[in-house]
Amino acid sequence: MEQEPKIANAYKEYYEIYDQVVLKMLPFYSEMHADMTEQIAKEKTENLKILELGFGTGTLTYRIMNEYPNAEVLGVDNHEENIAKATEKLKDFLHFKSLKADFKSFETDELFDAVVSALSIHHLSDQEKQDYFKFIFEKLKAGGRFIIGDLVKSSDEEEWHKYLVDTMGEEGEHRWQVHKGNREDKPSTLEDQLLWLKQAGFDKIEVVNKWFNFYVFYGEKSSKN
Ligand SMILES: C[S@@+](CC[C@H](N)C(=O)[O-])C[C@H]1O[C@@H](n2cnc3c(N)ncnc32)[C@H](O)[C@@H]1O
């Protein structure tokens, strides 16, 4: 079934003005990125290799590259316009490389110290997430972390809906309807995702922070692997 054109157009427009809209819709957006960045490593000057999945317009990437000045970051995304915006935002960082590809199946021989993904995993179905967590486990070095910041399936989403309407009125309701009508959004529960991380082989799993139905959590690959 085709998506209702009004909703499809609204979603296209959402990406055109993403950087402005996301700050209104997610008042915790910067804090979420900060919490994710903090979990990458204790030593900020290490020569880390970091993989970012669904780097979008590059806002989290920018923060990571500032806070870990010696890190090399490979960003994977399949959205041409977002990649162009990120490339412009990150043009002064020589250690950033981008790859236009589907992040479920891209190829790289490299192993990474950390894998991060903000607001992207919810585009995968339950089964795709389970396969994906196994795929990412194999891409991490021993001791590495897979750090996720994303929306999950939860009744708390009503609080977020209320926040949107209280702060943005009609526009908030419109943004909510666009979100609910988007067939590309497939959030899973937090409990399922923590279980799937365990099943993929991660042995330390932590929930770091939460706002409405949005969470930062990670799985760490044992240093004995
Ligand atoms: C909502 S944006 C999040 C962008 C950014 N991480 C942030 O924190 O603002 C989701 C991004 O994931 C990308 N994406 C979704 N599914 C993808 C896939 N299967 N392969 C590659 N990129 C994907 C989209 O193109 C988009 O740029």
Q: With a cut of 50, which residues of the chain have pLDDT below it?
A: 1-8, 10-11
> Cα dihedral angle (36, 42, 45, 49), rounded to 10 degrees?
-60
For residue 15, what is the enclosing H or E element? helix 5-16
Mutation to probe ligand 1, out of 73, 123, 135, 216 (largest number of atoms < 8 A from CB): 123
Number of Cβ atoms within 10 Å of the Cβ of 101: 13
Q: What predicted TM-score, i.e. pTM, was given to this entire model?
A: 0.93
- Give the Å distance between the CA of 224 and the centre of ligand 1: 32
Residue 63 Cβ < 6 Å to ligand 1: no
> How far is Cα 27 from Cα 182, in angstroms, rounded to an integer?
21
Q: Which of 151, 175, 150 is nearest to 162 (CA)?
A: 175
Task: Return the pLDDT at 214.
Answer: 98
Hey, where are the domains in the chain? 5-220
Q: How far apart (Å, rounded) are the C-alpha atoms in residues 25 and 132?
A: 27
Token pair listed for 9? 């157009």
The predicted structure's pLDDT at residue 10: 46
> What local confidence, expressed as pLDDT, does residue 2 receive?
46
Question: Which listed CATH number (3.90.25.10, 3.20.20.70, 3.40.50.150, 3.40.50.2300) goes with 5-220?
Answer: 3.40.50.150
Q: Which amino acid is at 114?
A: A
| DSSP summary character for residue 122 | G
Q: Decide whether any atom of ligand 1 lies within 6 Å of the 149 Cβ.
A: no
